[in-house]
Amino acid sequence: MYEDMERVLIAEDEIARRVRELGAEISRDYAGKELLVVGILKGAVIFMADLVRCLNIPVRLDFMAVSSYGASSESSGVVRILKDLEQNIEGLDVLIVEDIVDTGLTLNYLRENLLTRGPASLKICTLLDKPSRRKVNVQVDYNGFVIPDEFVVGYGLDYDGRYRHLRDILILKRQVYCGKEQRENCT
Ligand code: XMP
Ligand code: MG
């Protein structure tokens, strides 16, 4: 499995340390409130599971699934809701938890969509940020790591559905995804 990987970008222990810091920061910011944490399936599930266990405030969980890349590693720009929230978020403090903000198209769409539902507040927490590829500006309130423009997998992130269970965040070798498709940095 690791033969598909260029190298480890962020190791398990470093991820764990940063997730604890984010949990402490979010707990401070929402002290005295109850938070609805909205995980974006499937990429955010591992991060979300670890993050919510670092929160010492009352929390409820819900999930959304949106179409983004399918088997490809390039955003189509078209966002579609595949699974919506189960609960009404009107008047609630909502935190979106996402694996990575890349072009920003997914989170931009989600933010606009959830804001129309009248939450008391809406913030965004991402594990990873690839600012070099941004197409639309999105305000990320909590971010774990800023990363370079490499395709990464592990800790929830996948390529073609694979590698989500890996404990580290790894850079996928370009030959794994180049050739199958045209990605901007496949040169
Ligand atoms: P946008 O471009 O809308 O993309 O900000 C966010 C979604 O794109 C996926 N994505 C990745 N997935 N490794 C992955 O496994 C990556 O390096 C990567 N870059 C973007 C991801 O699903 C995210 O939700
Ligand atoms: Mg995703």
Q: Quick: pLDDT tens for 42-99.
A: 999 999 999 999 999 999 999 999 986 544 555 566 789 999 999 999 999 999 999 9
Q: The tokens of 183 are what?
A: 């990605």
162 domain-assigned: no
Distance CA 174, CA 6 (A): 8
Q: Is 102 a catalytic residue?
A: yes
Closest to 178 (Cα-Cα) out of 3, 1, 43, 4: 4
| Number of the ligand 1 atom closest to the C-alpha atom of 150 | 17
Query: Is 186 a domain residue?
Result: no
- Which one is catalytic: 93, 102, 158, 168? 102
Hey, which of 102, 176, 177, 183 would you mutate to test ligand 1's pocket, going by the most ligand atoms within 8 Å of its Cβ? 102
Residue 78 is predicted with a pLDDT of 72
pLDDT in tens, 132-180: 999 999 999 999 999 999 999 999 999 999 999 999 999 999 999 886 6
In the reported structure, the alpha carbon of residue 120 is separated from the centroid of ligand 2 by a whole-number distance in angstroms of 25
Neighbours of ion ligand 2 (CB under 5 A): 43
Query: How many domains is the chain partitioned into structurally?
Result: 1
* Ligand 1 contact via 151 beta carbon (within 6 Å): yes
The C-alpha atoms of residue 103 and residue 79 are separated, in whole angstroms, by 12
- The closest ligand to the CA of 153 turns out to be 1
Q: What is the CATH number of the domain that holds 88?
A: 3.40.50.2020
State the pLDDT at residue 140: 97
- Domain-located, residue 155: no
Whether residue 45 lies inside any domain: the answer is: yes
- C-beta atoms surrounding 175 within 10 Å: 11
Pair of tokens at residue 100? 């990575």
Interface confidence, given as ipTM, is 0.93
Q: Is 156 in the pocket of ligand 1 (CB under 6 A)?
A: no
- Model confidence, pTM: 0.92
Q: For residue 5, tell me if it sits in a domain.
A: no
21 Cβ contact partners less than 8 Å away, ≥ 6 residues apart = none
Look at residue 33 and tell me if it is in a domain: yes
65 lies in which domain range? 13-149
